[in-house]
Each structure stands twice: as C-alpha cells, then as structure tokens.
Amino acid sequence: MFCFGLLTKEIMIVFPLIIFFFDIMFRKDRLKNFYIFVRPFFGFVLIALAYLLLRQYLVGSITNVQLVRNVYSNFLTQLNVSIFYFKIFFLPIDLCIGRYFPMSRSFLEPRVIQSFLIFLAIFLFAGAAFKKNALFTFAIIWYFVNLIPKFIASLALVATEHHLYLPAIGIFIAIGIGIEKSIYFLQNKAKFLKLIAIAFFSILFIIMSVLTFRRLEVWQDEYNLWLNNIRYSPQAWGAYNNLGLVFLNEGKYEEALNSFNKALEGSKTVRSDPLLVDVYTNLGKLYLLKGDFNAAEAELKKVLEIDPSVAEVHNNLGLVYAQKGLRSQEIAEFKLAIALNPSLIEAYNNLAVSYWLEKKSNLAIETLEKAIEVNPDYPKSYLILAKIFEDLGNFQKVLELREKALSLSPSDANDYFNLGTLYGKMGDIKALDYFKKAIAIDPKFAAAHYNLAVTYANLKPPQMELAAKHARLALEYGYKVRPELLKELGIK
C-alpha cells in the first residue's frame, strides 16, 4: 500500500513516520526489542529510496516544483499556515482555490510568535493528554506530520485548502473523541442538555450543508471559480492570470488583456518570476491570436529573458515567425522547442507543416512519425500526415490515417465528413456510413446531406427517394445544391 500511495501522491512519503508514532503509542510491546521495532522500517526506507530514484530518473529531479522561497522563510510561513488551516477548518468561509498568503522572514514577527505559541500550547496539551487518551495525542501528531512536506518544499502557492485534506483526518479524530466524551458526560445529566446538544449539531449540519452547496455554485465553471478567488483574495495575482486564460479561450480578448495586465502588475510587485513567465507567455498567445505579431514577439522574448528554456514559448515564437514569413527562423524555433521538450507534440506538428510548405515532404513525414511515436493518441498528427499523403496521391494511406484519427476522437462531424468524401471519390460504398455518422453528430450538417444525396443518386440501382430527402435537407440548411441534381430528383 505504501508503494501504491507513493505512486499516487508524494505526501505518502511521510507514512513511515506515522507508523513510527503509531508503534510507539499503541504497540509498546515492540519497544522491548529494538531489532523487532526497527525491522519493518528497513522495507519502508528501501521503498522510499527506490521511489526517489524513480522520480529522479523519470522527471529529472526529486520534485517537479520550483522552490520559490528559502528554507527559513518557508518554515516560518508554514508555521503560520498550519494555524491558519485550523481557522478555515472550523470556520470554512471566504474559501478560494489559490489564496494569497503573506511571507514571514523573521521569527520576531508578531504573527510568527503567535503561531509558535499556539503550536507549543497544542503540543503541551497533546502531551498532557497522552496517558488518558493516546488516540487524541496521535490525532494531533497525524495533523502536523502530514504537513511536514509543506515545511520542506517551498511551493508556489503557500496556502491551499486541498493541502488540509489529509491532515484534517487528525482533526476529525480529535472531534470524534470530543463527541464521544460529551455523550458519556451527558448520559446521566439533565435531559435539556441532551436537547441542546442535538439542536447544536442539527444547526451545524444545516450550516455546513448550505456552505457546501454554495461552494458547488462557485465550482460550476472556471469563470466563477477564479472570480470568487479574486473576490476573497484580491492579491492572488495568479488568479487574474487564470481568469485571463478563461477569457482568452472564449475569444474575449479585451477582457483577457485586462486580466493579464492586472496579473503582470501584481507579479512585478511580489517579484514572482514563475508567474511573470506565465503572464508573458499568455500575453504572447493573446497577441498572436489577435494578429499583432510584433507585440506577440515582444512579449514572448520577455519570457526568454527570464527563462530561455520554456519550450512552449519557442513554439509560439515559431508561429509568429511563420506569420511573418521568416521560414528559417520559424523552423529553428520549432526545433529548439522540441529539443527543450521532446514531448511537446504541437511543436512536432508545426515543424512538419513548415517542412511541408518548404516542399520537404520526406522531412515532414519523418517529423510526424516521430510525433506519433512520442504520443500515439494525438489525432491532429494523423490528420496532418493524412493531408500530406493526400497531396502525394497515396489515398490508401490517407484512409488509414484518417480512420486512426477518428478512432481517437470520434465526436468530430467534420472528420467523418472528410473521410466519407474521400471514400466517395474512390467510389467506395463506405462513404454512406461516414456521411450518416457526420449527420448523427450534427443533424444540420448541410454539406453532409448534399453528399448523401449525391451518393444515393449514384448507387446502382439508385435510391432516388433517399437522395431527394437529403437534397431537400441540404437546401433547407442553406447548401447550394446543383440545379442538375435537383432537376434529376424532381425538386423545384
């Protein structure tokens, strides 16, 4: 289970420490023999080391996050965060997905001193309770042990609510113990005390249910999610960047620009290079989509001044140079993007298109075959390769590639239509099936209705009634049907 946990979430690395405290507190017989006590931990340590080596081999580092604070500052800040989590556990209001949390840089800050004293009080209380209720002490240990990784790895987001999920089990255990003691205490007390307790928990249940449904409303879409984030944490500059991406994907360029500029202003204030990289990258995408290629190039080059190894930026720069007709620079950028990130499929596809436009079909095919080798489940690579083979006149290969693309993305009516058209040109009856599938996805697909009408009319024997039906539907949905076909079908 430790293996499965590690391969699911890094937090599992603290599990041996949990077992260590569990054994000390609840399996005291094992303490009599040191060898018996430590023997199981050799297995845990070996698995943990194997995991760390695997991470190093697969990811290139033990952790895939960029450390953004020094160890001392992060420790002090997480001291405050650990106490803050208690607050949002017991008072879950003003929640947000990407919270701004102030950094601490000195132990003498009032906030740090306050958090340290609360820490100390909790540990002293847990220690005092050990003899009477070891499970309560274990619950407190559970909470803090599961927060240890946050003290070690200085993540970009200092405090996020989901980091509380696993540690919160310790709080739930402690609350459960409190409820159990309260029930025992009230058993022989006045009846009205029991009624007060029932009323209290009923009200609490209702309040928590209402808060849960309100959070569901926030999570209904990305726009509401990031807008809520900004409302309750207006200094969370990353939320402005994410809201800008929502607007960008919806084609609302001016709103996206305003959000990115707000994120840019904030990220410069806090001097966050990772956020600056994201914002400049997104601004480059925005200007690229707007057709302002000089502005796009300027924003993307700002990213490279901070970090020249961002593959996506080189890919986007290649697209800018493609629009400017700078073919050699375009190809160089796509190649560099692939060198920096060999799994960036879009860069392979873009490089293949560049080679294709340069009449270098062999290089284009070779590049796309490499893309398919890297990611065999990406349909766009198959479709570009199919287009190249279509230009080369290899229709059998085109059919194979288009069918493969369809098997990976079976919901696109245009792909079914294109494949049906290709079968139609070859005089293959399979064309009917593909046109029907296109119409099943999009019943108002006028061109597919027209092609169905033509196919039915050309069958041997022809099926004129079905041809007329689809010709009328093509007309109804705005397709200009050839007059000769209408006359042949008896349609005025």
- What percentage of the chain carries pLDDT values higher than 70? 97
Contacts of 6 (CB under 8 A, 6+ apart): 12, 13, 47, 48, 51
Contacts of 239 (CB under 8 A, 6+ apart): 96, 97, 98, 226, 229, 230, 233
What is the chain's length?
Answer: 492
Q: Is 92 left (phi over 0), alpha (psi -120 to 50) or beta?
A: beta
Residues linked to residue 63 through DSSP beta bridges, in sequence order: none
Q: What is the DSSP string of 46-83?
A: HHHHHHHHHHHHHHSSS-SS---S-HHHHHHHHHHHHH
Whether the predicted pLDDT of 17 surpasses 70: yes
Closest C-alpha among 429, 412, 431 to residue 420: 431
Whether the predicted pLDDT of 65 surpasses 50: no
Determine the CATH number of domain 418-492.
1.25.40.10
Return d(Cα 461, Cα 70) in angstroms, integer. Answer: 80
Q: What per-residue confidence (pLDDT) applies to 296? A: 95
- The arithmetic mean of pLDDT across residues 192-221, rounded, is 89
pTM of the model: 0.77
End-to-end distance of the chain based on CA atoms, in angstroms?
A: 73
Return d(Cα 18, Cα 146) in angstroms, integer. Answer: 8
Q: What per-residue confidence (pLDDT) applies to 59? A: 65
* Sequence ranges of the chain with CATH classification 1.25.40.10: 418-492
Phi first, then psi: what are they for 159, rounded to 5°?
-130, 120
Q: Using one digit for the tens of pLDDT, what is the confidence trace for 391-425?
A: 898 888 988 998 898 888 877 888 889 889 888 88
Whether the predicted pLDDT of 262 surpasses 50: yes
In this structure, which amino acid lies at residue 16? P
Q: What per-residue confidence (pLDDT) applies to 64? A: 46
Q: Using one digit for the tens of pLDDT, what is the confidence trace for 101-153?
A: 888 889 999 999 999 999 999 989 988 988 889 999 999 999 999 999 888 87
The band of 61, judged by pLDDT with boundaries at 50, 70 and 90, is low
Joined tokens for residue 49: 């080391």
- The arithmetic mean of pLDDT across residues 466-485, rounded, is 91
Q: What per-residue confidence (pLDDT) applies to 422? A: 87
Whether the predicted pLDDT of 284 surpasses 80: yes
Mean pLDDT of the chain: 89
